[in-house]
Amino acid sequence: MGKFVQLFADIAKLWGKYGSSYITGMRNTLILALVGTVIGCLIGFVCGVLNTIPYTKNDPLPKRFLLKLVRAIVRIYVEVFRGTPMVLQAVFVFYGLPYFTDSALKFTNIWVAAILVVSINTGAYMAESVRGGIISIDPGQTEGAKAIGMNHVQTMTSVILPQALRNIMPQIGNNFIINVKDTSVMFIIGFPDFFAAHRAAVGASYLYFPSATVEMAGYLTMTLIASFLLRWAEKRLDGSSSYELVQEDQLTMTAGTYSHPDRGTPFDERSKEYRDQVSQELKYGRTRGER
């Protein structure tokens, strides 16, 4: 019991002295993770789309060659950045640039370097998720879009990507949460994130365990809030589970063009019974006619 009292006292002491640097660290961690995840997703979407452009034997040779080349480049990018630790990638990029340019070019802004590394790393993971998200969409969706004359870009942006995005939302969330935690390796290039605040605090106070407790609680709070917000965003994307029937008196059927086969029977969806049945089913969340 006494140890816990001691712990609280130490934490209070740490917070009094380094509270603002912990808070700044948390803020930096969140910004880095968020920006890195967003840019990473964009990279992932571009790679995923480039990777799924279809080509047939009928296409001209240069186009086929270009598409194959693009696929090969994306493949190499994904394998290299998925297959190496982010801490090394950070060092590699941060010291690589001045090394190759004889220090003519270097990262004067640590944010640029950190965001670059996190984005490229996340992009490599997202490229595969997006590709999976795209190929998991029923090919009938693409055919439906093609059949009304949409080209590849229109099909992608209007039909496929919105559905793929919804399907990979959990992976995007996962990547964000991973980034909140894994950006802690960015201290290696001197980025002032939440974990760097810990290193600074214990370097001066030697209160290793109390500071680690603060860090544990801090990271957990950030990731829990992130999961909560992501769930909420997913729900928003799904939209309402029911719909409003438009009143029939606003819309008179064009006379004589279509005689309803079920007019007056319970199957007539314009009959009152049918509408009641529909609203009942919607209320209890049954999806109808799915096969």
Partner 1 sequence: MADKILQVNHLSKAFGSNQVLRDIDFTVAKGDVTSIIGASGSGKSTLLRCINLLEIPTSGEILYHGENVTGRGYNAAAYRSHVGMVFQSFNLFNNMTVLENCIVGQVKVLKKSRDEARTHAMYYLEKVGMAPYINAKPRQISGGQKQRVAIARALAMDPEVLLFDEPTSALDPEMVGEVLNVMRSLAREGMTMLVVTHEMAFARDVSNHVVYMNQGVICEEGTPAEVFGNPQMQETRDFLSRFRNA
Q: Which residues bind partner 1 (CB under 8 A)?
A: 56-58, 60, 138, 140-141, 143-151, 154, 158-159, 162-163, 166, 239, 242-248, 251-254, 257-262, 267, 269-270, 275, 282, 287-291
Structure tokens at 107: 């990262």
Please state the closest distance from residue 118 (CB atom) to partner 1, in A: 30
Please state the closest distance from residue 264 (CB atom) to partner 1, in A: 13
| Angle (nearest 5°) at CA 205 between 201 and 207 | 85
Q: Which is nearer to partner 1, 3 or 286 (CB)?
A: 286
Q: Which is nearer to partner 1, 79 or 248 (CB)?
A: 248
The radius of gyration computed from the CA coordinates of the chain, to the nearest angstrom, equals 27
Structure tokens at 12: 């209070």
Please state the closest distance from residue 241 (CB atom) to partner 1, in A: 8
Q: Which is nearer to partner 1, 3 or 288 (CB)?
A: 288
Please state the closest distance from residue 167 (CB atom) to partner 1, in A: 11
Q: At what angle do helices 2-51 and 208-238 cross, to 10 degrees?
A: 40
CB 97 within 8 A of CB 107: yes
CB 195 within 8 A of CB 25: yes
Q: Which is nearer to partner 1, 20 or 154 (CB)?
A: 154
Q: Which is nearer to partner 1, 109 or 151 (CB)?
A: 151
Please state the closest distance from residue 268 (CB atom) to partner 1, in A: 9
Non-local (6+) Cβ contacts of 240 within 8 A are none
Looking at the chain, the number of H-run helices and the number of E-run strands are: 10, 0
Residues found in the chain: 291
